[in-house]
Amino acid sequence: MPISPVAIYVRISNDKTGEQIGVDDQIVWLREYIEDRPDLVEGDIYSDNDRSAWNPKVERPEYERLMGDLRAGKWRYVLCVHSSRLVRSREQRLDVIRLGERIGLTVMQVDGASYDLATETGRGGFDKAGSENTSDSELKSLRIRRAHLRQARKGRYMGGQIPYGFRKRVEVVNNRVVTSYEVHPEQADVIREACRRIRGGEALYRVVRDFRERDIPSPRGKAWSHGSLRYTLMRPNLCGLRTYKGNVIAEHADFPPILALLEWEEMCAAINSAGFRHATGNQVKRLVAGFLYCGSCGTKMKLDGQRKRYTCPHPANGGRKDCARRVGVSEDPVTSLVEDLLGAYLERREWEREHAASTVAAQIAVLDGRLADIQASVVKGALHPDDAGPMATGVRAERAKLVDQQMREDRNRVTLDGGEALRLWTLPEPASGRGSDEWQEWLAARRQILTTLVSGIVIRPTEQKAPRLDVSRVWVVWRDHSQGAP
């Protein structure tokens, strides 16, 4: 009797203890099966512990290694407890069937079922058994999603890692263990500080750098990064809102709010603002970086550090294909010209004028009243929570747009101490040299003035026989002005 080597594949979706008891039990079971079969001999063992075969986002390294060995012709037999341990999705089942048909693979189970994928009968049986497994997984997934949505509409927390800013509280009430969640005082102070500083106009990367210097740990106990702080601050549960698949659908019943709704929305609008700097630890080293735009297509110009020249980027680097004339300008001349223009503008103090009152604040107050009415109707039982969720979501979306508009108007209402701004602008460059802390503070002060007064600087294309850079090529768009010129 010919003896055939057989590959063993074991898998368990959820190992709660981390001790691999499930996969170890499967290995013992499969080895007993091989011992009772004199025509089989044990080959390599492929074990994926705590790995789902249904979730396409979960990687199964041992399954991939097994498939690679099968393609290389190492095995013709694979043994598993059940075919659902090997594959559970339609896509992977089709991959195994196609590969098995080509190499003559046989998949065996401990219950005696065997599928010779080189034959029509074997492929049909393997596909039928797998279809039942897939259907069971889809129904189970649907039930879980419906349960999550039902709990989300009630504002309930569905488990997982406790969000930053909160902590679990366990107490015994009437001989029953009751779990609830409360604000974590130290972490909540970190969130409130970041919110206050960002609403005050401070860049996110500066807050991150300060937290790192003060050794304030992130949710994972490591140093804060730009992404981790941004993600933490943008979570709606900080102001008591419950989301499902990214949409706010209810007030949170488990987590008390750390921030007021208006504070959180203003902070999010500041973070998402086009003028808000999203850089991480990299410090800006040029005065006009990020302010220059191509006068031909409107694309933001980029600096070529080696050539010391700002240019409209090529389409491969984010530029527009329909740009008729890609504008370029040397760094030093345009920086000197902007310095002169801003100095003259500060001396004229043209921004100091009365501004029309904004109606946005009144519109936001009206929407706040509508949200309060919706919540009151739910409490009184006049409105079902399933109906209240979409209504509140629509109002909040409209409110978020108004908050963003209000912040844009506030940025355009230039409030600047003219004398102090002129003093800072005309300060000479520190002798400590580029890159020093003193020099960086000097540059940051000048960029803050530039940001306060200017929305953008458009560089027009060069005319024939015209100098490379003159005043006529530079068009400054001043804040709170529909258009501007030097």
pLDDT for residue 27: 92
Q: Which helix (H) or strand (E) is 354 found in, with range? A: none
pLDDT for residue 485: 42
pLDDT for residue 97: 93
pLDDT for residue 478: 81
The dihedral region occupied by 3, where left means phi > 0, alpha psi between -120 and 50, and beta the remainder, is beta
Give the pLDDT band (50/70/90) at residue 279: very low
CATH number for the domain running over 166-272: 3.90.1750.20
Q: Long-range contacts of range 177-181, CB-CB < 8 Å, 24 or more positions apart?
A: 180/254, 181/157, 181/254, 181/255, 181/256
Range in 43-52, 283-292, 353-362, 419-428 the model is least confident about: 353-362
CATH number for the domain running over 4-150: 3.40.50.1390
Q: Alpha-carbon distance 345 to 390, whole Å?
A: 49
Amino acid at 4: S
pLDDT for residue 276: 47
Cβ pair 334, 474 in contact under 8 A:
yes
Q: Which helix (H) or strand (E) is 419 found in, with range? A: helix 418-425
Average pLDDT taken over every residue of the chain: 81
Q: Alpha-carbon distance 130 to 80, whole Å?
A: 13
> Over pLDDT 70: what percentage of the chain?
82
- pLDDT digits over 308-319, tens only? 889 998 887 778
Give this prediction's pTM. 0.40
Could you tell me the sign of the dihedral formed by the alpha carbons of 414, 418, 420, 421, in that order?
Answer: positive
pLDDT for residue 266: 85
pLDDT for residue 96: 93
Cβ pair 202, 222 in contact under 8 A:
no
Cβ pair 78, 7 in contact under 8 A:
yes
pLDDT for residue 191: 93
The domain limits of the chain are 4-150, 166-272, 292-354+416-478, 360-412
Q: Alpha-carbon distance 361 to 471, whole Å?
A: 40
Q: Residues 210-239: what's their mean pLDDT?
A: 89
In the block, tokens 């990687």 appear at 59
Give the pLDDT band (50/70/90) at residue 10: very high
Token pair recorded at residue 176:
């029953």
Q: Alpha-carbon distance 428 to 107, whole Å?
A: 78
- Measure CA of the first residue to CA of the last residue in the chain; give whole Å: 95
